[in-house]
Structure 1
Amino acid sequence: MVDAVRRRGAALFLLLLLLLASALHGAPAASVNRISVETAGRGELITVIASADMQVDPRTVWDVISDYDRLADFIPDMRSSRVIRRDGDRVLVEQTGEFGFLFFRQPVEVRLAVSESPPGGIVAHAVGGNLQSMEGRYAIESLPGNEVRLSYSGRLVPGFQVPPFVSRIAVRSTMDRQFRALVQEIVRRDLSIRGPAR
């Protein structure tokens, strides 16, 4: 009796392993083929250049990067993000969050004047908040092989009362996490819309 139960348990375990292996074999390849985030600094100025090549629908990329009211749901270190005013392709967005690295935490408040150019990109610059200056640009580019490249370039001067190298490390760490989370949300939404089959 005990042997029969063990044999049934072993058979069930093997069946589950086979089903799992079959599911993994049929799963799509990774949708993100390349991702990079680079920062540089001179004095208080920090520049960020980031890009990701993905096999996703370009419309999904646009939908995610322009989903201002939901950015805080999936972007780490962002506490809130909301549209204050919209006038055609001009949007005023207010965001709060923080830059952080190890023990250092710096609250950030920014009001962004956003200019949309769907489906190709977004340009934004700070018009209020506690950053000395900030400007950024997203670009969406279709590549051969049904790939899409999302690129970001930004420049900011934090103006925090800490040594510049601490600000650079905190901004670099935060921007890396945030860009990767943005890409992850794009892939998640693309899979939920189009399904796993490619």
Structure 2
Amino acid sequence: MSCLLLLLASLLWAGMAWGQQAESQADDIEIAVRKEGATVIVDVGMPVKASLRSAWEVLTDYDHMAEFFPNLDSSKVVEQQGNRLRIEQTGKVAYGPLSFPFESVREIVLTPYSKVHSKAVAGTIKHGEAITRLVSEGSTTRIFYHSESVPNTWVPPGIGPNLIAGRTREQFASLREEILRRANRERPAMAETGETPGKANGNSSAASGTSAGASGDAGRGRAESSEGVK
């Protein structure tokens, strides 16, 4: 019992440290995590100074998510029919010296450029659904995320939500950093061609489920994060 208490205390300290560090780096990201029975509910609100199109292309870039989400080892689209996708992701969540691997298979329904609905169909989560919404506010896009999930492992009522909140903030900060990185890279090219940021061009097929992404074919128009947010 004393070992268990020591472990829980160390996890709480680690969670507070991560949370404080993430808070200082992304204190404008609103995070709310709570438990209702076995269900973990996460709500996020995050502004990013980029166009709706730029935010969408990163949110939907499933084939490259492992490159900018620190908890993902792999991410790929295994099936696509129009705006309906099935994705597989693997990764691990680290709490101090401990590391917990996870697998996720999700069905995605896209509504460009405003909403992504995600449902877990296999993996280490018994049940999980999430909705990501994008709202344009001039030169800023605001991202809203809501998820309800039942993990296969027990989540301690007090410590668990705090740790999840810290990790979620970290994930969304990484997401915003990637959106800004790509948006800043695109602006000089748009200035040369006279194209308006966020304006769909003749080759764009994001409205039918494809997206530009990191390397010209990245993502095929896919969206959403997590505890991660995933």
TM-score, with structure 1 as normaliser: 0.75
Q: Output the CA distance in 2 between the equivalents of 1:100 and 1:33.
A: 22
Q: Helix, strand or coil: the match of 1:56?
A: coil
Q: Higher relative contact order at CA 8 Å, sep ≥6: structure 1 or structure 2?
A: 2
Separation in 2 of the partners of 1:140 and 1:104?
34
Query: Which residue does the alignment assign to 2:71?
Result: 77
Q: Which runs of 4+ in 1 moved over 6 A?
A: none
After superposition, the C-alpha distances for 1:61-106 in whole angstroms (9 at most, x for unaligned) are: 1100000000010001111110000000000000111233223422
In structure 1, C-alpha distance between the alignment counterparts of 2:100 and 2:38, rounded to whole Å = 15
* Pair member with larger Rg: 1
Change (3 A) 1:100 1:44: farther
Instruction: Provide the rounded CA distance (Å) in 2 between the counterparts of 1:44 and 1:73.
Output: 31
- Of 32, 47, 54, 1:53 maps to 47
Percent sequence identity over aligned pairs = 28
2-structure distance, mates of 1:138, 1:39: 16
Answer yes or no: is 1:179 the counterpart of 2:172: yes
Q: Which residue among 90, 93, 108 is the counterpart of 2:87? A: 93
Contact 1:78 1:97 in 2 (8 A): yes
Question: Counterparts of 1:99 and 1:43 in 2: how far apart (Å)?
Answer: 22
Change (3 A) 1:97 1:169: farther
In structure 2, stretches of 5+ residues that fail to align are 1-25, 192-196, 198-230
Q: What's 2:150 paired with? A: 157
RMSD: 2.3
**In structure 1, C-alpha distance between the alignment counterparts of 2:28 and 2:184, rounded to whole Å:** 18
Structure with bigger strand share is 1
CA distance in 1, matches of 2:185, 2:131: 27
What is the CA–CA distance in structure 1 between the aligned matches of 2:130 and 2:155, rounded to whole Å?
Answer: 23
Instruction: Give the TM-score of the pair, scaled to structure 2.
Output: 0.65
Distance in 2, matches of 1:53 and 1:100, equals: 27
Displacement after TM superposition at 1:147 (Å) = 1.9
Matched residue count: 165
